[in-house]
Amino acid sequence: MFGLYAAVVLIWGSTWIAIQYQLSVAPEVAVALRFALATLILMAWCLVRRLPMRFSLRDHFFMAVLGVCLFSLNYVLIYVASVHLTSGLLAVVFSTIVIMNMINGVIFFRRRPETRTLIGAMIGLSGIALVFADDLAAFDLASGGSIGLLVSLVGAYIASLGNMASARNHARGVPVMQANAFGMLYGSILLFAYIGLAGIPVTFDTSPSFIAALVYLALFGSVLAFGFYLTLLGRIGPDRAAYSSVMFPVVALLLSTWFEDFHWTSHIIWGVGLTLVGNVVILTKRVPKPAATVLEQVAAAPATKPAINPTTNPGSVKP
């Protein structure tokens, strides 16, 4: 479990570097190209491995919901919100998916979150808010911030619905690889449809940096990271798996320190510390109380009189 979690956090925490090399084309086009390539990789993998690809129409419906919510529409909304919000504020808003997954888990699966998960999430969200305290202090609803806040919250909630669709697919026994392959296919179709309707010019940058970033985002940021994340979601539940979204900005800050000479302040250090504490609270399980030994059970048992066998000598006891 910890290996999957660490892989998700490290990969998605580093994708911001590759995204910087994708800005030579429209953001929507960059995302569409990323998931189109990821679809080709996943479909080829499934065909080479001869994995079963026939599913019911109902399964295809939920794979389409997965694709629309997790591989396309949420990305479009986040990019729209980025016009009005800083990346730090977006990180804070999107980390609320932890709470949204808990709420949706109750609504769709009657799954109540554990107390330790709630406590860990509150600690982690407080930490991420502290990390981006300067962005929060500069937030202005009058300058388009209200639109950005609303759109980003809707994007985060739609991503949470995608998590619920994945949880449903996992419960139905639909393998993660095939579900992601079809989901990314449906998501890519929606993205290109949106690009066409919005009149966004489709361009392609042939520079080595753009192509390398595209391959990294498709293979590692999409195929592997989503595969790891949705597998983790099926194993530990949407609420605990979603906490990885709180850890992404922390990894991004660490990498920014190395690549961009990022300077740490006291509130950032305290915020990162809180997110790590929340991480420990959510991912560690309470150690169950060990079972009592035979001697302890005998010592704790109430004393009883031996039963007398009336058919034998009064001094003998019944075995």
How does pLDDT run across 162-173, given as a tens digit for each residue? 999 999 999 999
Closest CA to 187 of 61, 67, 77, 74: 67
Read off the pLDDT of each residue in 253-278 and give the average, rounded to a whole number: 82
Look at residue 251 and tell me whether its pLDDT is greater than 90.
Answer: no
Place of tokens 């990498």: 255
Quote the CA–CA distance of 148 and 156 in Å, as a whole number: 12
User: Taking the C-alpha atoms of 37, 39, 42 and 43 in order, what is their torsion angle to the nearest 10 degrees?
Assistant: -120
At residue 244, the pLDDT reads: 86
Read off the pLDDT of each residue in 62-72 and give the average, rounded to a whole number: 95
Partners of residue 308 on adjacent β-strands: 317
Give pTM, 2 decimals: 0.80
